[in-house]
Amino acid sequence: MQYEIKCAPFPVVVCQLDQGEAMTTESGAMAWMTPGVEMKTVGGSVGKAIGRLFSGESLFLNVYTALQPNREIAFSSSFPGKIFPIEINPGNSFIVQKSGFLAATSGVELSIAYKKKVSASFFGGEGFIMQKLTGQGTAFVEIDGDAVQYDLQPGQVMYLNTGSLAMMDSTVTMEIEMVKGAKNILFGGEGLFHTKVTGPGRIWIQTMPIMNLAQSLIPYLPSSSS
């Protein structure tokens, strides 16, 4: 499979498939394709389907298989930002934000990743369940806005605004800490909690979380009384 990502800041990944190659994607992500590509909707086990629903995806996934050589299929992002390609192998898995998965080659497995910390589940801003990508192949992840990558050393800590964590290596741990100081909580404008990530491993921080964008637009939306 060959691919090209273009059209930022409204990106699309255009994939060239050889005969027999397949791509798995979330429902509604396909933008266009040439003839000779077959679509099949799959759900897997009930547990996997429900897990995808809780992690922000649809109950079912679509599998597109090239029936002829040199077929083209494109997948578009649902939000202005970046489509980030990642290479996955048995020793290199990733945890991505809710609804972050866009598409992947057939060797990649999509599952759910529960937070180990209760505080992270309910106050972290990243949601109770994130998505885990394992297996072997190439996956494409949606990132809101742009992204900054850090490679954390063992025990190295970084604090993030809630909702800013786009993706991390599965070796990174995440928990939530309350902002210190009553004045900071009441007047700081940063909320009650920060997301704490601890290495080793890489993290990707997104610059325009969709949750933050939605909150900033609320004052400008018409009210029911207007």
Q: What CATH number is given to the structural domain containing 189?
A: 3.60.160.10
Mean pLDDT for the stretch of residues 128-144:
90
Domain-located, residue 111 = yes
Overall domain count for the chain: 1
Query: Would you say 197 and 161 are in contact if contact means Cβ atoms under 8 Å apart?
Result: no
Domain-located, residue 17 = yes
Domain-located, residue 223 = no
Residue 56 has pLDDT above 90, yes or no: no
Mean pLDDT for the stretch of residues 87-110:
92
Domain-located, residue 172 = yes
Domain-located, residue 222 = no
Domain-located, residue 221 = no
The token duo for 73 is 């299929």
Domain-located, residue 40 = yes
Flag the least confident range among 91-105, 186-200, 201-215: 186-200
The token duo for 17 is 């498939």
Query: DSSP H helical segments within 6-154, as ranges?
Result: 46-54, 118-123
Domain-located, residue 55 = yes
Range of the domain at 136: 2-216
